[in-house]
Amino acid sequence: MVTIKDIAQRAGVAKSTVSRYLNGGSVSQKTRAKLDEIVKETGYTPNTFAQSLKAKHTKMIGMIIPRLDSYSANEVLASIDASLRDQQYQLLITNANQSIEREIENIYTLAKQKVAGIILMATIITEAHRKAIAEVDIPVLLLGQVGEGLHTISHQEYEAGFTMGSYAKNLGHKKYLYLSVFKEDVAVGQLRAQGVLDALKEGADRTVEVIETSFSFQEAYEQALVILPSTQATFIICATDNIAMAVLKAAHTLDMSIPQQFSLAGFGGYATTSIVTPSITTVKYPYKELGKVAVEQILELVSGKPMKEHIALPNRLEIRESTVPF
Amino acid sequence: MVTIKDIAQRAGVAKSTVSRYLNGGSVSQKTRAKLDEIVKETGYTPNTFAQSLKAKHTKMIGMIIPRLDSYSANEVLASIDASLRDQQYQLLITNANQSIEREIENIYTLAKQKVAGIILMATIITEAHRKAIAEVDIPVLLLGQVGEGLHTISHQEYEAGFTMGSYAKNLGHKKYLYLSVFKEDVAVGQLRAQGVLDALKEGADRTVEVIETSFSFQEAYEQALVILPSTQATFIICATDNIAMAVLKAAHTLDMSIPQQFSLAGFGGYATTSIVTPSITTVKYPYKELGKVAVEQILELVSGKPMKEHIALPNRLEIRESTVPF
């Protein structure tokens, strides 16, 4: 039988390099190509499966995500996946497609699959959520939204909104437009929005119009096509970078110039916001950190240790080309 | 106990609307908000879980994806998730993080979780893959890569490359650069590349340089920063849109103009390629269609019906601002 040692010898690299390669860690492209070749030739089979059959409990964590096309959810997921891997845990991911029923259903499904714990990125927390969490009797950790009495790791949403609002106010604009999302989403639809509005509220010569739009790029884009031609705002703050990107695209379509005609800002710190022209001012959220802390906490819960009920991570403003003084 | 009928009556909408809402289908924002409220108030719990406990077999399909930050994988996933949902199946997703060991391990893990079938988006097919697929004894469908003797749905990769190469040739450029990925990836690293090179090969006055880069945006960006200042190429074709976006960012960083200094093209049809400036010429792949066909075929296999060994889906060129005649 071929072992990791055999492969290391054939490739002329250290055993730890092979191990890193097999675990999806960082390996040079040249070494990776060589190891791919050797694994292919030797038909090497890792014995993790054999190990997991021997183990008494499944070392698995279940995850419920709201959408498959969310940049932020994917960043958090990648970080959770890597951290769990470091702890020899596997991750089973299920999509709820922004449906409450599917969120609840997935809690039960994952419990039935005998995962050791569940990380839930919910949009809202209903009584049905609480009932399911109580019934499955395994640790459930909420991510992103705060559920009173439930274990939660979230972002400092109000502070993020307040930081952005204060920055915009200091640029001296008078007419603001805030593109929000539905209010049932407490983190984004309420806290983030309230932070923005509180920062902008003082001063009689300032007006802030709030319009509700959607997390969906396409829906936000179509709405922006209608809103932009008639808005008086010289500063548009969007509840997410995804919405800001949709507004940018709509401005392109309508031949409007940013930041000449209006300043534009978002929240999240999505990679794409730094590639587009103009690059978009945003509040950068620590998605990787959120994933890391989530794994630490769920594994504490799984091992029966207590955790603080609520942890909220800070974020920071990133000023880019899309925002200018009035 | 609260039923769908009760909720429909309270909301003053049809039962089918409530059902669509609960299943994550299309519902107006106003109706959704109202239903969110009622579900919250009534503590309604869907009974899908109860149904699935009664069912004899788990109606679950397992999925193995190569990366969590892949636009194309996420597009396919979303489509698979929706199509399976229509058939009352659930989807369990696992990430292999471009590690062969994790791909193999996930095949066994999902089988142990008693999924009815597995859809595998592999980068390469090794003997270890074949061994695992034979051992688990449930239907496994390959997506994206062709594995001889295995059920496969892929894109017409060679044709995509040839289409792009022919288009570039007809614009009259003389010096081309093709940014490829590692050759072990048969679909992208071999077939797609070969199509491009075959289309460009005739004619003594044309040169094509090929440089290997990475699927990773950050790695491709850093490599582009080194390559761009010294390249003679007036047309750069990238193996993926992600790489093309990295080249675009590097050009921004280096203050180089596209398409004035060189034309740029990619493959995939990622949404972002139409938002950036200049928008990027690409070959659009039918990711949603791929997901739909994959679900049709895996469910045929699960029910014991035969499928054609290999299905390859066509794609189409989308000409945008980033490419101009020489």
Q: Is residue B319 part of a domain?
A: no
Lookup: tokens for A222? 């179509």
Q: How many CA atoms lie within 13 A of A276 on its CB side?
A: 31
DSSP B285: P
Angle at CA B216, nearest 5°, toward B213 and B221? 65
Q: Is residue B267 part of a domain?
A: yes
pLDDT digits (tens, 9 = 90+) for A44-98: 665 544 444 444 446 999 999 998 888 889 999 999 999 999 999 999 999 999 8
pLDDT digits (tens, 9 = 90+) for B117-153: 999 998 889 999 999 999 998 999 999 988 888 999 9
Is the pLDDT confidence value at B227 over 50? yes
Q: Using CB atoms, which residue from A32, A68, A91 is nearest to B74?
A: A68
Asked if B36 and A100 come within 8 Å (Cβ–Cβ), the reply is yes
Tens of pLDDT along chain A (326 residues) come to 677 778 888 888 887 788 777 765 667 778 888 887 887 777 666 554 444 444 444 699 999 999 888 888 999 999 999 999 999 999 999 999 988 889 999 999 999 889 999 999 988 899 999 999 999 989 999 999 888 889 999 999 999 999 999 999 999 999 999 999 999 889 999 999 999 999 998 776 899 999 999 998 999 999 999 999 999 999 999 999 999 999 999 998 899 999 999 999 999 999 889 888 899 999 999 999 999 999 999 999 999 988 788 999 999 999 999 999 99
In one-letter notation, the amino acid at residue B238 is C
Domain co-membership, B265 together with B275 = yes
Contact residues on chain A for B68, CB-CB shorter than 8 A? 74, 77-78, 81
Quick check: B245 contacting A, CB < 8 Å?
yes
| A18 phi/psi in degrees, rounded to 5 | -60, -40
Q: Is residue A323 part of a domain?
A: no
Nearest in space to A84 (alpha carbons), one of A62, A65, A55: A62
CA distance A144 to chain B (A): 18
Contact residues on chain A for B44, CB-CB shorter than 8 A? 128
Domain co-membership, A218 together with A166 = yes
Overall domain count for chain B: 3
| CB distance B11 to B39 below 8 Å | no
Domain co-membership, B270 together with B301 = no
Domain co-membership, A190 together with A291 = no
Beta bridge partners of A178: A210, A237
Among chain A residues, CA nearest to B62: A92
Can you give the CATH number for the domain in which A62 is found?
3.40.50.2300
CB neighbours of residue B296 within 10 Å: 15
Nearest in space to B222 (alpha carbons), one of A266, A245, A29: A29
pLDDT of residue B286: 96
pLDDT digits (tens, 9 = 90+) for A224-245: 999 999 999 999 999 999 999 9
Domain co-membership, B201 together with B179 = yes
Q: Is residue B24 part of a domain?
A: yes
Q: Is residue A325 part of a domain?
A: no
Domain carrying residue B279: 157-285
Contact residues on chain A for B220, CB-CB shorter than 8 A? none
Contact residues on chain B for A106, CB-CB shorter than 8 A? 90
pLDDT digits (tens, 9 = 90+) for B37-57: 887 777 666 554 444 444 444
Helix B4-11 and helix B29-42, axial crossing angle in degrees, nearest 10: 130
On the 0-12 / 13-18 / 19+ scale of CB atoms within 10 A, A202 is: exposed
Can you give the CATH number for the domain in which B13 is found?
1.10.260.40
pLDDT digits (tens, 9 = 90+) for B266-280: 999 998 898 888 999
Q: Is residue B92 part of a domain?
A: yes
Q: Is residue B122 part of a domain?
A: yes
Residues 6 or more apart whose CB falls under 8 angstroms from that of A31 comprise A11, A13, A17, A21
Residues 6 or more apart whose CB falls under 8 angstroms from that of B23 comprise A99, A101, A102, B85
pLDDT of residue B204: 67
pLDDT of residue A15: 79
pLDDT of residue B154: 94
How does strand B235-238 pair with strand B207-212?
Answer: unpaired
Q: Using CB atoms, which residue from A98, A249, A275 is nearest to B245?
A: A275
How does residue B29 score in pLDDT terms, banded at 50, 70 and 90? confident
| CB distance A171 to A323 below 8 Å | yes
Quick check: A108 contacting B, CB < 8 Å?
yes
Domain co-membership, A110 together with A183 = no
Report how far residue B13's alpha carbon sits from residue B7's, in angstroms, rounded to the nearest whole number: 9
Q: Using CB atoms, which residue from A37, A43, A100 is nearest to B39?
A: A100
CA distance B297 to chain A (A): 21
| A37 phi/psi in degrees, rounded to 5 | -60, -50
Domain co-membership, A219 together with A306 = no
Domain co-membership, B141 together with B120 = yes
| CB distance A146 to A121 below 8 Å | no
pLDDT of residue A308: 81
Question: Position of tokens 């794994």?
Answer: A295
Report how far residue B144's alpha carbon sits from residue A149's, in angstroms, rounded to the nearest whole number: 45
Question: Position of tokens 């949404």?
Answer: B271
CA distance A227 to chain B (A): 17
What 3-state class would DSSP assign to B177?
Answer: strand
Quick check: A261 contacting B, CB < 8 Å?
no
Nearest in space to B70 (alpha carbons), one of B198, B226, B185: B185
Lookup: tokens for A47? 């014995």
Lookup: tokens for A199? 């920062």
pLDDT digits (tens, 9 = 90+) for B163-175: 999 999 999 999 9
pLDDT of residue A300: 94
Helix B29-42 and helix B15-22, axial crossing angle in degrees, nearest 10: 80
Domain co-membership, A78 together with A127 = yes
Domain co-membership, B167 together with B270 = yes
Handedness of CA B198, B199, B205, B209 (dihedral sign): negative
Asked if A48 and B101 come within 8 Å (Cβ–Cβ), the reply is yes
In one-letter notation, the amino acid at residue B97 is N
Query: Where does chain B have alpha helices with state H?
Result: 4-11, 15-22, 29-42, 48-54, 71-86, 100-112, 127-136, 157-170, 193-201, 217-227, 241-253, 287-302
What 3-state class would DSSP assign to B175?
Answer: strand
| CB distance B272 to B256 below 8 Å | no
Query: What radius of gyration, in Å, describes the C-alpha atoms of chain B?
Result: 23
Break chain B down into helix, strand, coil percent, rounded to 5: 45, 15, 35
Domain co-membership, B70 together with B140 = yes
Report how far residue B292's alpha carbon sits from residue B303's, in angstroms, rounded to the nearest whole number: 17
Domain co-membership, B18 together with B125 = no
| A2 phi/psi in degrees, rounded to 5 | -75, 130
What 3-state class would DSSP assign to B262?
Answer: coil
Q: Is residue A296 part of a domain?
A: yes
| CB distance B179 to B204 below 8 Å | no
Asked if B128 and A45 come within 8 Å (Cβ–Cβ), the reply is yes
